[in-house]
Structure formats: C-alpha cells, structure tokens
C-alpha cells in the first residue's frame, strides 16, 4: 500500500493548481447524476461529551475503477489544544481484489475538494460578470474557497469577515503567497458582494435577509451537521436552492433546520448541482436571481480528488510503499 502525507500531496497538487481538482470534482458531480457512482449517505458518530463527531464516507466509481472511503473528524475545540479542528484520512481500494492501494492524509485534500465544489457551483450559478467576493469565516476552508472561486470568475476584490480579526490577517498572509489580495471587512460589507461564501460552524443564522442583494450567489459551506445553519431561512425562501445531495443536505446541510421547522419543503429545492452540471436543468436564468448552493461535502468529491493524487503519485514515484502483512 502506498502512503502519501500532506506535504507530498501539496507537492503533487499545490494550491495554485486547484483548477485540476475543480475539473475532477465537476466530473464527479456529472457521473453521480448519471448514476455511474455508488455513494451511500455519510454516516455520523457523535461524541457529544467531547463536542466532536466522526464521519464515514464511502464511494465507488466503475468509471475510475476505484473505491474509496474517507474517515473525517470534526472537533471545534481542538484549536484550544493546538490541534486541527478537522482531521481526515482517505483509503482507496482496488475493486478487483478489495485490497487497499493507498492511504492519504485527508485534511489538505478535503480543503481542495470542498473549494472545488464551491467553484463548480459558482461556475454554474454566479453571474458571469461577478467581480466581488465576500467570505464570512477566515478559517482553513476560506483559503480553498477563495483560491478555487478565483479560477472560475474574474474576481477583482475580496472582502473577508471573521469575529477573530487576527484570523483575517493570517488568511491574508497565506493568500499573499498565492498572489491573492483580500480586505478585512465588516460583516455586512462582506455579505453585500456578488458572490458570498459562508464557512463558519454557526448553529444560529446570522446572515440577514436584508443584506442579500439581487443577483447574489451564495455558497453555504459551514452547515455540515445537524442543527448547523448560517443564513436566515427567509433567504432560502427568496432564492433558488441547489444542493449537492438530498440525503445529506436534508440531514445536515444549510436546509436541515428550515426543513425540520417547516419553513421550506422538499419542493422548494430547485436542483442538485449534478443536474445542472449534466445540463438536465438550467443554472442561473437571469441577473436578478439569488442562488444558494448548500454544500455538505460528498464522498464522490474525495474519491475523485484522491484518485487524481494517486495516479499523479504513481507516475512521479512519490510516496512510501508499506506492507500490511
């Protein structure tokens, strides 16, 4: 079995080359919509007394001839211990004999593939003339969302808000290395942009409906577990909702709380992102629409991104071979 650590994966796909992952994630949504993938719903284990959870995410692609499983944990309080709040590993298996082919660090890959999904949604739903990007939450995911979205739209200004102002400063230092400039913004200023990305762990809506301007596209990234939500449900009522997957989004996405409260219903969901990628439904229809992508993160994204890394590593001879026997 090949083992690839985060440093090696970054060498194979540096952040500046995230467009490669965007292309593969777009293929993943296309194949999933066309029934060329097996993907059971994400399974959660909740460690309530430790304020954390573990998520198991399997998928199989006959086209790739590859199966994969990601095990990811989310422990928001880890930062107090100097640890990452999100940890992950991905295993790819040979479908002919079931044996593991590669074990990959999943933290960087999760960032890449989530950013890539945001970019695919932006490509499908944001106005082509969108030039400004607002980001709420300056954590790790903000890095990938910004890097990816700037690959699919000609963004001129980026406004970032975080309740921890030092986080914005740190984000700016990271993105400066990628020649991407951001501005430290107030919350309302960050929201009132052509494209809005929310990447917080909030369990209470804080994006106000009156801040959302006609024509805005929203990537709602932060809500990925039960009871999480970031945006006023009335924004969902006003906008065109696009989800990554019904089973996951209804359980743990931005729509999960409004659905349970009866504010919205399944009929209010316009489409899945796969339907739009596969051109079974139109994306944006006019410049005034408010569009919302509810991203929960799918195992197919991990499978396709990890497969890309694996094949690159094999070609370049990167990684360490170990025996499990």
Give catalytic residues, as residue numbers.
70
One-character DSSP codes across 183-196? EE--HHHHHSSSEE
Partners of residue 272 on adjacent β-strands? 243
Compute the distance between CA of residue 74 and CA of residue 325 in angstroms, rounded to an integer.
31
| Nearest by Cα to 63 from 325, 282, 303, 313 | 303
Q: Do the beta carbons of residue 318 and residue 8 sit within 8 Å?
A: yes
Token couple for 248:
């996951």
Compute the distance between CA of residue 7 and CA of residue 108 in angstroms, rounded to an integer.
9
| Nearest by Cα to 22 from 146, 210, 151 | 151
- The dihedral through the CA atoms of 272, 276, 282, 284 has a sign that is positive
């Amino acid at each position: 079995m090949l083992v690839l650590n985060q440093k090696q994966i970054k060498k194979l796909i540096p952040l500046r080359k995230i467009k490669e992952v965007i292309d593969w994630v777009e293929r993943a949504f296309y194949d999933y919509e066309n029934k060329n993938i097996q993907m059971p719903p994400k399974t959660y284990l909740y460690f309530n007394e430790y304020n954390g959870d573990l998520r198991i995410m399997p998928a199989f692609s006959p086209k790739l001839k590859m199966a994969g499983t990601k095990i990811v944990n989310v422990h928001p309080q880890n930062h107090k211990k100097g640890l990452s709040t999100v940890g992950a590993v991905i295993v790819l298996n040979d479908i002919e004999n079931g044996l593991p082919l590669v074990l990959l660090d999943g933290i960087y890959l999760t960032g890449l593939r989530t950013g890539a999904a945001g970019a695919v949604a932006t490509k499908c739903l944001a106005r082509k003339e969108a030039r400004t990007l607002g980001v709420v939450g300056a954590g790790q995911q903000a890095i990938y969302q910004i890097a990816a979205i700037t690959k699919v739209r000609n963004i001129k200004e980026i406004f970032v808000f975080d309740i921890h102002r030092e986080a914005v400063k740190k984000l700016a230092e990271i993105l400066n290395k990628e020649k991407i400039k951001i501005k430290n913004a107030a919350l309302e200023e960050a929201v009132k942009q052509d494209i809005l990305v929310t990447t917080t762990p909030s369990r209470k809506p804080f994006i106000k409906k009156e801040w959302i301007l006609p024509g805005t596209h929203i990537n709602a990234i932060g809500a990925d577990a039960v009871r999480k939500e970031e945006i006023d449900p009335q924004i969902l009522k006003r906008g065109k909702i696009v989800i990554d997957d019904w089973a996951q989004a209804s359980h743990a996405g931005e729509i999960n709380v409004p659905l349970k409260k009866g504010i919205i219903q399944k009929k209010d969901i316009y489409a899945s992102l796969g339907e739009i990628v596969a051109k079974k439904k139109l994306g944006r229809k006019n410049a005034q629409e408010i569009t919302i992508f509810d991203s929960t993160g799918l195992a197919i994204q991990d499978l396709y991104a990890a497969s890309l890394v694996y094949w690159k590593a094999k070609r370049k001879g990167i990684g360490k071979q170990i025996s499990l026997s």
